[in-house]
């Protein structure tokens, strides 16, 4: 457990929270208010990406790690989660259906959490 993992977890934890706030406000048609959590979320994407890539880099540095493939898949799934959050909010803002993005969001989120907490060795849990 180190600072980079902790910052990564704070990053996506905060991200999910901001996503939820923006989601509720957009669905209540409070577009102006929703812009605030949405903008902070966009900055937070950068934090998630930065910490995610630094963590991923460790797997390439430690060449021969038996988890490199799983870490790459985790990174791709994490990227998809970010893309889905952004697409869902933009669709909602335009009052369009985000159904397909929601399905992808949940699948990618489950894969990300399972690989992150359940399989990959750094950080909490395993």
49 close to 15: Cβ distance less than 8 angstroms? no
52 close to 73: Cβ distance less than 8 angstroms? no
The Cα–Cα gap between 16 and 107 comes to 15
Residue 12 touches ligand HEM, criterion: CB under 6 A:
yes
Which residues 82-121 are close enough to bind ligand HEM by CB under 6 A?
82, 112-113, 116-117, 120-121
Write phi, then psi, for 90 (nearest 5 degrees): -65, -40
Which residues 34-53 are close enough to bind ligand HEM by CB under 6 A?
48-49, 52-53
Segment near ligand HEM (CB under 6 A); pick from 20-28, 36-44, 79-87, 99-107: 79-87
Task: Tell the smallest beta-carbon distance from residue 25 to ligand HEM (Å).
Answer: 20
Long-range CB pairs of 108-111, under 8 A, 24+ apart, other chains included: 108/77, 108/78, 108/80, 108/81, 108/84, 109/81, 111/73, 111/74, 111/77
Residue 23 touches ligand HEM, criterion: CB under 6 A:
no
**Can you give the binding site for ligand HEM, defined by CB under 6 A?**
5, 8-9, 12, 15, 48-49, 52-53, 55-56, 71, 74-75, 78-79, 81-82, 112-113, 116-117, 120-125
């Amino acid at each position: 457990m180190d600072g980079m993992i902790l910052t990564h977890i704070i990053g996506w934890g905060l991200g999910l929270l901001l996503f939820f706030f923006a989601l509720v406000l957009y669905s209540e048609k409070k577009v102006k208010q929703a812009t605030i959590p949405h903008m902070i979320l966009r900055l937070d994407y950068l934090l998630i990406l930065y910490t995610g890539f630094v963590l991923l880099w460790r797997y390439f540095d430690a060449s021969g790690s038996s988890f490199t493939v799983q870490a790459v898949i985790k990174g791709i799934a994490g990227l998809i989660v970010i893309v889905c959050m952004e697409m869902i909010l933009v669709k909602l803002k335009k009052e369009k259906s985000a159904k397909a993005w929601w399905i992808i969001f949940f699948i990618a989120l489950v894969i990300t959490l399972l690989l992150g907490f359940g399989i990959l060795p750094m950080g909490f849990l395993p």
